[in-house]
A and B are shown apart, each in its own frame.
Chain A
Amino acid sequence: MADVADHYQVLEELGRGSFGVVYKAIDKSTGETVAIKHIDLESSDDDIQEIQQEIAVLSTCGSSYVTQYKTSFLRGHKLWIVMEFLGGGSCLDLLKPGNFSEGHIAIVCRELLRGLEYLHAEGKIHRDIKAANILLSESGKVKLADFGVAAQLTNIKSQRHTFVGTPFWMAPEVIQQAGYDFKADIWSLGITAMELALGEPPHAAMHPMKVLFHIPKSPPPRLEGNYSKEFKDFIAKCLVKDPDYRPSAKDMLKHKFIRNAGKVEALQELITAKQMWDANRTRTKHPVYYQETLHSMSPADERDEWVFDTVRSVAPKQRGTVRSRKPSAIFPVEDAMRRLDVKDGPLQPTTPGTVRKATVRRQPSIAIAQSPTKQSSQGSVRRISTSSVAPKRPLQPDMSFGNTGSTMRLFRRVPSDSSTSGQLGDASTDENRPPTKPSTTSSEQQQQQHTSGKEALLGRRLYNKAIEPSLAELHAQTAGSDKRAALANLSDAFAHLDAVDPEGAYHLLQTLLASVAQDKKLAPAFIPHSSSASPALPSKTTGPSDNTPQGTVLIKTPAQVLAASPSKLVLSNANPHLKSHRRRQATPDGSVFEQQRSPEKSEQRDGEKGAGGGVEARYPGKEALPGLEHCQHLSGVFYERWANGLLSRWGGVAGG
């Protein structure tokens, strides 16, 4: 399996960000050390677009003051973002041994300002400047990281209103949502400088939510104590509450505090201090190594991984970044998962052991349907394995939902059908196309070649239009597994006949009908009294809602099933030709419904064509079940309330 992820050797965990785990890794092709952020997309409801936004901002940054983005790709439901590796750690980590000296802070601030100068010129706002998001390389280079909430402005002078950031570092104008721009980053920089000097931001003892009220109301924090005049002034300049009077990054670079700052190499002292501190700690640190999850190696164990994923909640950071996102849900329940298991699921058809032949026949088409282009990524593996389980499970997952397995066949057959009948418009073909186009198997092509004579054509049409759908229908409506098995066998037999000798099918029905017509008792039962002339086809006045005993009777003897089959044309509402046929006639102004009010009629038309004419009179329309009309009204009311609810949900999404 060619996988981009294989280009990387993933090593130990570096840390957990606001929504992802970051690992150290080696790019095998270059030997370069990189950092890879793994974002589990399944673990949150968040719009993936927000993560894309982060990548979009990062990937358009080309500055030595910003962590270099390399690439990103999907691995299953995890997104891997590959970044430059910065061995010095974050400023928050580096604060652990002790607060920074003024000299160090000045260097960090200068580098940060250069980074911000670049970003702001690019029309980007970082919006989450804080010690945790400032990374150092081993040589002491300072880089901005975590663009999870960064904004890209299309117009250099436009403003933002979104409420994002981390409360303690947020500028008053951001909190007030009155519209803000690049200056917001300068405020956060001022708070960060205080954080580096004091070990924590101002008001750190306060509840984050309370801080949100506090910041706009109170005068800006000031740096007190034994610090230089320049440093105090620098902080004061950054923390001007009115953004219009707050200097830009460019202005701040000219500040005396910054101009006197030393070289970045001096920051290596901080890194050394941190290493010493780590070494002296009594508690030994066990690096957490990345483990290739079973999920990505073996499809069989994927479910375990899935459960693992859901149980794991996103580790909350100490001062998590406030996003305009919903908190990700925590999923502790494995029980439900077990029930959703493909094999054990309640939706699994309850008729194992039957229709074995049919399954074998259907198998290939399912495999095709389920893996259209699934050669490359791993998601496919499981699916393929599902279908490989298939022989044990006669009725496939696909069928469990509905029109039974014959549906698959119906669709497979359609191409040959439309090519032989030539009566159907182009519009009808799309819908009938199976999930993948190369579905016309070679055997089918052969079949088509066989199909030549008029009788063969009719026979084939008979099978496609009448027998096959009817059997499918019947199979679907039959509850007992024995009965279903019998039907399936019949269906297979017929399919075989159709494949080998469509002419035979034609003659079979012809003979059958003739015999029925001749029998005194059978004729009135199957051929309505109103019928005239040609004994070509029997018909029945029953529709889908028909619940009369005939249905069960029919199953008892094969002959009767056959006899009933053509009448089931009425039932073949699922017949896609018919629907598209109807649709083509429909106009956009809602006459779709006009058409649908009398589906039987169009079916009759269709049936007329299919049976070779003269049959329409024998397909009387069926009425709706009496007594259920009020339900229509009720559900109409429900639907309206419902639709409104839905609209507001989606509307909210669209507006947000």
Chain B
Amino acid sequence: MALQSLDIVRRSATTTAPPGVRESYAGTVAKLIDTTKCIGCKACQVACMEWNDLRDEIGTNVGVYDNPPDLTEASWTVMRFAEYENPKGDLEWLIRKDGCMHCADPGCLKACPAPGAIVQYSNGIVDFHEENCIGCGYCITGCPFNIPRISKRDHKAYKCTLCSDRVAVGLEPACIKACPTGALVFGTKEDMKLHAAERVADLKSRGFEQAGLYDPPGVGGTHVMYVLHHADQPQLYAGLAPDPHISALVGLWKGVSKPIALAAMAFTVLAGFFHFVRVGRKEIDERDEAAGRQALEGAPQRSAPQRPGSAPETRNPDKRP
């Protein structure tokens, strides 16, 4: 991947600094998923597969509407359905489109050891380049939202590209275009926040006092955001993380992976890391988490990979002039 294409600001496991002069002066892009307008029709799932030339398996029904039941290498987005009886006794059917959040501070990219397998463009899109992927699965671990999937067919990681090929020529992503009810909206991140504010005001007028925008600061904000009726309880939406962070261990891994220390530290770090891969972040107790956070805070976040002159880390795509 030439670093110049689409103005790459970050590239996994790469020391070469991308050209740093051009910036996204018109603003970064964002997808806003308004769960309060979503009817769970799955047009986005189809549009995604259709545009990206993907076809998932024809599976089975496991007793729910969710189908395919989880993200796969061919299903880069899925709808997750949750039935919730609110305190008033009324039923709510909370439906959430799941998929890559395009974090401003992407844990996948930070965790990825394969040079150029994951890139972040100046417009905010985090993209996978499968030709560089080694199939190690660290991106899954690094992802606070459990999004990437390794294909059994070619052992490479796949996820939503935010239709980087469409956005590159000035079009909206395929899912956005298809969405029948306007639950998916696309534009600059700033415009999306304004739009979300209008939606939140409307929802409050309909009795959803806790309506709000989901743009989690723990990952530097995201380029895929949600409008939620119950922003105080994101977990109601099929387990949306209330306060996602990149795993402390990813920070640690990056922190100690300075080239010189690598060989010596490899055993200890990787063993710990692998435990995390296997068991997942839910198993990490609070003490570990706190320690991790401390470790992260110890190392200045902006220069987490600590590569001298690493321009990408200093160019936050969300920072508008």
Q: Do A and B come from one complex?
A: no
